[in-house]
Amino acid sequence: MSMSSFESSGGFFHKPVMATEVVAVVSAVPSGVVLDATVGAGGHASAILESRPDLDLVGLDQDPNALDAAGRTLAPYGRRVSLHRTRFDRLGETLDKAGVVSLVSFLFDLGVSSPQLDHGHRGFSYRNDGPLDMRMDPDGQLTADEVVNGYQRSELALVLRRNADERFATRIADAIAAARPLKTTTALSAVVAGAIPAAARRRGGHPAKRTFQAIRIEVNSELTVLEPAISQALKLLCTGGRGMVLTYHSGEDRIVKNLFRSVSETNDPQGMPVRVSKPEFTMLRPLAARADERERAENPRSSGARLRVIERLAA
């Protein structure tokens, strides 16, 4: 069974981004274990398992609803699949407990799934009314309510700039502070839209998109945990193994690009006329692949996606 084109499991609907490209990357790796660090409802995972009967998969997710859906989607693959509820920066200890000592591939899909965005009660949506929540893990401590209503104006503006490159960060932070307390996503969305100049509101999608992205990243510490998590996965990658990261905005893509670049360089001192050491990894070209025109038309959420791929050359 392949559900790579459209995940549908127990009401958890999600169309995986660049599934064809992901399958192409794993087509050349050795037999072994693949880590899907953000398994969601299992769309990428099912495509990988369907394409390579000699691969097993460990899937991680901190969202119990996603894991329930993944369990249903991936049930036909039986013992080839192991699912764990955890945040991906704990992947090292999770894989150790599962007895996995080496990976032939890993995937981090850093996008928010359609169910999380579309179901208002999760608090991720700037279109659908709901509480200011935005926790990937429902048991997480920090909520969007605390960020929106509790952060100082300067803190809030910094979050918007750092996490979403929001050029109207100060104006939006001032407007949010003046409108407190805000209790719903639609109320926040309206305040943000009102703070952005009319000319800017007419282009670039929904005016609250960046603000909601920035707050979600803050609530879930997404940029903080990203580099340590990928670094753990890289250490477990076998020779000939390939790591993949799907990014959706400049902040996270910058982290991935810089990390991949750093481990792909040699440790030779500057000024050496001849390369002495060999790099452990190489970044595969294109350095940042994008969804094709057809996929972008069918699935608008793929339009900002970039797929970066790295391969281990030597253990």
CATH code, 186: 1.10.150.170
Mean pLDDT check: name the lowest of 59-63, 185-189, 203-207, 305-309: 203-207
Specify if 125 maps to a domain. no
Specify if 124 maps to a domain. no
CA pair distance 199, 195, nearest whole angstrom: 12
Specify if 131 maps to a domain. no
Q: What is the mean predicted confidence (pLDDT) over 141-152?
A: 97
Residues 160 and 67 in one domain: no
CA pair distance 283, 145, nearest whole angstrom: 40
Rg over CA atoms, the chain: 20
Specify if 14 maps to a domain. yes
Percent of the chain past pLDDT 90, that is, above it, reads 76
CA pair distance 17, 43, nearest whole angstrom: 9
Report the domain count for the chain: 2
Q: What is the mean predicted confidence (pLDDT) over 290-313?
A: 92
- Residue 295 CB coordination number (10 Å): 20
Of 196, 219, 242, which one is at a domain's C-terminal end? Answer: 219
Residues 85 and 38 in one domain: yes
What pLDDT is attached to residue 148? 98
Residues 101 and 239 in one domain: yes
265 CB-contact burial (10 Å; exposed 0-12 / middle 13-18 / buried 19+): exposed
Of 187, 204, 219, which one is at a domain's C-terminal end? Answer: 219
What pLDDT is attached to residue 25? 98
Residues 226 and 308 in one domain: yes
What pLDDT is attached to residue 202? 81
Specify if 256 maps to a domain. yes
Specify if 171 maps to a domain. yes
> Is residue 6 predicted with pLDDT exceeding 50?
no
Residues 16 and 107 in one domain: yes
Specify if 299 maps to a domain. yes
Largest CA distance in the chain: 63
CA pair distance 212, 163, nearest whole angstrom: 10
Q: Are 26 and 51 in contact (CB under 8 A)?
A: yes
Residues 29 and 84 in one domain: yes
Of 194, 219, 244, which one is at a domain's C-terminal end? Answer: 219
What pLDDT is attached to residue 14? 60
Q: What is the mean predicted confidence (pLDDT) over 65-76?
A: 96
Q: Are 80 and 49 in contact (CB under 8 A)?
A: yes
pLDDT tens sequence across 220-237: 999 999 999 999 999 999
What pLDDT is attached to residue 200? 86
pLDDT tens sequence across 84-137: 999 999 999 999 999 999 999 999 999 876 666 666 688 888 888 999 999 999
> Is residue 7 predicted with pLDDT exceeding 50?
no
Q: Which residue has the higher pLDDT, 203 or 149?
A: 149
Which of 304, 287, 222 minimizes the C-alpha distance to 18? 304
CATH number at residue 267: 3.40.50.150
Residues 215 and 149 in one domain: yes
Residues 12 and 85 in one domain: yes
Residues 205 and 240 in one domain: no
- Give me the domain span that covers residue 205: 138-219
pLDDT tens sequence across 8-25: 444 455 689 999 999 999
Specify if 28 maps to a domain. yes
Residues 61 and 14 in one domain: yes
Q: Which residue has the higher pLDDT, 315 or 121?
A: 121
What pLDDT is attached to residue 3? 33
**Mean of per-residue pLDDT scores for the chain:** 90
Q: Are 194 and 175 in contact (CB under 8 A)?
A: yes
The b/e string for 119-130 (b: 16+ C-beta within 10 A; e otherwise) is: bbebbbbbebeb
Residues 147 and 162 in one domain: yes
Residues 21 and 108 in one domain: yes
pLDDT tens sequence across 264-296: 986 555 555 555 568 999 999 889 999 999 999
- The listed range with the strongest mean pLDDT (46-55, 201-210, 300-309) is 46-55
> Is residue 243 predicted with pLDDT exceeding 60?
yes
